[in-house]
Amino acid sequence: MPKVTVDRDGCKGCEHCTAVCPQRILAMSKEINAKGYFFARVTDRPRCIGCRLCAIACPDVAIRVECHGVAYRFFDY
Ligand code: SF4
Ligand code: SF4
């Protein structure tokens, strides 16, 4: 099963990941992080298909996706 991890304090609450997830399993927390933002969280991990779109969409590289023994974090500077 793919494992998606959101770096709680690295998130700036832009909601890009929640918009791109085809399974709609990312949502914004009702808590705030150290920066004062509502951060993204995974709501239904078993339904994740490991597409990595959330990690690609995150502008702050705050999402890590692990599947088939490989860890993915994407950035393009
Ligand atoms: S890897 Fe794909 S299905 Fe899984 S949380 Fe990210 S966008 Fe959604
Ligand atoms: S795309 Fe990244 S910074 Fe934006 S809400 Fe999702 S995890 Fe947070």
Residue-wise pLDDT tens digits, 17-65 = 999 999 999 999 999 999 999 999 999 999 999 999 999 999 999 999 9
Angle at 74 between CA 65 and CA 26, to 5 degrees: 45
Could you tell me if the CB of 52 is within 6 A of ligand 1?
yes
Alpha helices of the chain — where are they, by DSSP H?
Answer: 16-20, 53-57
Closest Cα to atom 5 of ligand 1: 48
Domain membership flag for residue 15: yes
Higher per-residue confidence, 49 vs 75: 49
Indicate the pTM of the whole model.
0.92
Parallel/antiparallel/unpaired status of strands 70-72 and 26-32: unpaired
Q: What per-residue confidence (pLDDT) applies to 72?
A: 85
Q: Which domain range does residue 65 map to?
A: 3-72
Q: What per-residue confidence (pLDDT) applies to 51?
A: 95
The set of residues, in sequence order, having a beta carbon less than 8 Å from that of 39 and lying 6+ positions away, is: 6, 8, 9, 11, 13, 28, 29, 31, 32, 33
Give the count of domains, the chain: 1
Q: What per-residue confidence (pLDDT) applies to 71?
A: 87
Contact, 43 vs 17, CB < 8 A?
A: no
Q: What per-residue confidence (pLDDT) applies to 76?
A: 63
CATH for 65: 3.30.70.20
Domain membership flag for residue 20: yes
Domain membership flag for residue 61: yes
Could you tell me if the CB of 42 is within 6 A of ligand 2?
no
